[in-house]
């Protein structure tokens, strides 16, 4: 199992450069950031753009993979985003993963002044966004006139460093999203089962994720794809597991989700005074001692 982190884009770069460099030095497999214009309780505080943040991070790191967790069509367009992704992949020397999701009804859904999309329309748009983004990152010139997004002789030259394109990590739990992950994803992302109540136990959460993995594998089989070719990423912080309480708690959490089929576990860099508050020393030990203990899972 791989161990990664997610760094919220809340740091002015005079602080952020050290935060991202530390993720590289600590040995995390990947360091992701949220791709939102604002997010929940952080709405009225510092919040920087994901793409410029990742571009700057590429310049101060050497090994760690970088990416969005996740980008949604709520405020992104495939043609412009493809150019950003190609540039990030060049700046990082081929270390970028693009997380993609349908988005929610939160701030990003209304900040441009439009109506909130229904769940069906969000799923439709994620499908159309992914299909066009895939073409843009694999073909030098694209004209596309289907679905919600258009492209007219769009150039993405010279293309990504990674071949055949930058990997997609698709966040999904419903049937349509899982089919999309099976068709286009090099990885799949879950935050657990949001339908579980506040009194849910770690065992119940792990059972729910095991069911999600089984349905992903079914979608892969239907698509004629080897399920083992899709990495399975769990973003912690939204399940009842005490992953950041101690190294032992993290190892127990990782072990439980490895048994459920997860291959990469992501922990938030601690942010004091928020829902992601945790002991920084524990977080750092997770990247070293914890990662070493779960490497063979």
In the predicted model, residues of the chain with pLDDT beneath 70 are none
Which has the closest alpha carbon to 237: 208, 201, 277, 276? 276
- Phi, psi dihedrals of residue 83, rounded to the nearest 5°: -65, -40
Q: What is the pLDDT of residue 10?
A: 98
Q: So where are the chain's domains?
A: 2-294
What pLDDT is recorded for position 297? 81
Helices (H), the chain: 13-26, 50-60, 78-92, 107-110, 119-138, 175-184, 202-222, 247-259, 280-285, 291-294
So what's the pLDDT on residue 106? Answer: 83
In this prediction, residue 32 carries a pLDDT of: 98
Helix (H, G, I), strand (E, B) or coil at 235: strand
Q: What is the CATH number of domain 2-294?
A: 3.20.20.30
């Amino acid at each position: 199992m791989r161990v990664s982190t997610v760094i919220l884009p809340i740091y002015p770069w005079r602080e952020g450069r050290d935060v991202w460099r530390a993720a590289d030095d600590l040995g995390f497999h990947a360091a992701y950031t949220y791709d939102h214009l604002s997010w929940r309780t952080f709405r009225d505080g510092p919040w920087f753009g994901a793409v410029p943040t990742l571009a700057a991070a590429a310049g101060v790191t050497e090994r760690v993979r970088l990416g969005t967790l996740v980008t949604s069509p709520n405020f992104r367009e495939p043609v412009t985003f493809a150019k950003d992704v190609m540039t990030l992949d060049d700046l990082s020397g081929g270390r970028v993963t693009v997380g993609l999701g349908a988005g929610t009804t939160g701030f990003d859904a209304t900040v441009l002044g439009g109506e909130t999309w229904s769940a069906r329309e969000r799923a439709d748009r994620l499908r159309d966004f992914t299909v066009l983004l895939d073409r843009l990152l694999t073909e030098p010139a694209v004209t596309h006139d289907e679905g919600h997004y258009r492209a007219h002789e769009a150039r993405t030259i010279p293309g990504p460093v990674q071949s055949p394109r930058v990997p997609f990590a698709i966040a999904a739990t419903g049937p349509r999203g899982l089919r999309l992950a099976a068709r286009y994803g090099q990885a799949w992302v879950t935050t657990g089962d949001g339908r579980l109540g506040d009194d849910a136990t770690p065992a119940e959460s792990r059972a729910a994720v095991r069911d999600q993995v089984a349905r992903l594998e079914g979608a892969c089989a239907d698509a004629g794809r080897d399920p083992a070719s899709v990495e399975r990423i769990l973003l912690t912080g939204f399940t009842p597991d005490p992953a950041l309480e101690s190294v032992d708690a993290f190892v127990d959490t990782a072990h439980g989700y490895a048994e459920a089929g997860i291959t990469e576990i992501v922990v938030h860099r601690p942010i004091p005074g928020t829902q992601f508050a945790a002991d920084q020393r524990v977080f750092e030990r997770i990247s070293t001692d914890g990662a070493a203990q779960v490497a063979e899972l």
